[in-house]
């Protein structure tokens, strides 16, 4: 599913250069459940952004489901993000002006899907995460756990092959966090690849494979 070869990512910050990732190689197979851990600044989020085609490596090769990311124009990369990837973020990133189902339906706006079908599929995704009854509620009317469930529903609405979750339980209490993880793991057991960034050892321990980063490299 994922092949990273000699990936490097550098940033300029003022006059200094920061090597977020260097000589980074990684392969993740289809259906794997991988946890990426590491301290703050170790390169976890940079790696996740590159994996999700939200950012491009400074050098090296990244092949996602057979597509070399360097050769992808914006339109192609956007299309892959839309079809292949579902994102779950620590701070949920829901649009406050939209209700739950409208947030879930957001990825469908970039496909050839009409409004009625968007709504049907969004409702189905919300049902899957157990939030059907909150479909018409706005984010400020939902609890943190419910907001993350909406975010997960949004991630799965396009039935992606790859789910990238960045600290999905970071802003939640332990019980809610557990239920969110179970939800993500259910998706993985349905055949999706799950890559999860966390600094919580308990969360990482649930993954079938654990990758620990330090200074932009795998330990």
89 binds another protein (CB under 8 A): yes
From residue 113, alpha-carbon distances to 106, 159, 174, 182 in Å are: 11, 14, 37, 29
User: Of the candidates 43, 60, 107, 216, which one interacts with another protein according to CB under 8 A?
Assistant: 107
149 binds another protein (CB under 8 A): no
Between 158 and 188, name the residue whose CB sits nearer to another protein: 158
C-alpha–C-alpha distance, residues 58 and 75, integer Å: 20
Between 34 and 80, name the residue whose CB sits nearer to another protein: 80
128 binds another protein (CB under 8 A): no
CA atoms within 13 A on the CB side of 144: 14
Q: Which of the residues 60 through 79 are near another protein (CB under 8 A)?
A: 74-75, 78-79
Closest alpha carbon to 41 in 85, 7, 86, 11: 11
Between 33 and 87, name the residue whose CB sits nearer to another protein: 87
∠ CA 123-129-134 to the nearest 5 degrees? 55
Between 63 and 77, name the residue whose CB sits nearer to another protein: 77
DSSP string, 72-118: --HHHHHHHHHHHEEEEETT----TTS-HHHHHTGGGGGTT--HHHH
8 binds another protein (CB under 8 A): no
115 binds another protein (CB under 8 A): no
Number of residues that bind another protein (CB under 8 A): 24
Q: How far is the CB of 149 from another protein (least distance, A)?
A: 17
Q: How far is the CB of 174 from another protein (least distance, A)?
A: 25
218 binds another protein (CB under 8 A): no
Q: Which positions lie near another protein, rule CB under 8 A?
A: 45-46, 49, 52, 54-55, 74-75, 78-79, 81-83, 87, 89, 93, 95, 106-107, 109-111, 154, 158
């Amino acid at each position: 599913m994922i092949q990273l070869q000699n990936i490097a990512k550098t940033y300029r910050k003022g006059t200094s250069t920061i090597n977020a990732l260097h000589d980074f190689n990684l392969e993740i197979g289809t259906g794997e459940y991988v946890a990426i851990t590491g301290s703050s600044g170790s390169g976890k989020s940079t790696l996740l952004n590159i994996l999700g085609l939200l950012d491009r490596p400074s050098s090296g090769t990244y092949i996602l489901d057979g597509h070399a990311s360097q050769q992808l124009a914006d339109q192609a990369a956007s299309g892959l993000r839309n079809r292949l990837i579902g994102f779950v973020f620590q701070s949920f990133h829901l649009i406050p002006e939209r209700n739950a189902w409208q947030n879930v339906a957001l990825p469908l706006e970039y496909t050839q899907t009409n409004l009625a079908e968007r709504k049907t599929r969004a409702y189905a995704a919300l049902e899957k995460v157990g939030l059907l009854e909150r479909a018409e509620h706005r984010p400020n009317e939902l609890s943190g756990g419910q907001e993350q469930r909406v975010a997960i529903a949004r991630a799965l609405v396009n039935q992606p092959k790859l789910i990238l979750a960045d600290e999905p339980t970071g802003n939640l209490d332990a019980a809610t966090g557990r239920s969110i993880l179970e939800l993500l793991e259910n998706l993985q057991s349905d055949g999706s690849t799950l890559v999860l960034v966390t600094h919580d050892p308990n969360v990482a321990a649930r993954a079938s494979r654990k990758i620990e980063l330090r200074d932009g490299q795998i330990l």
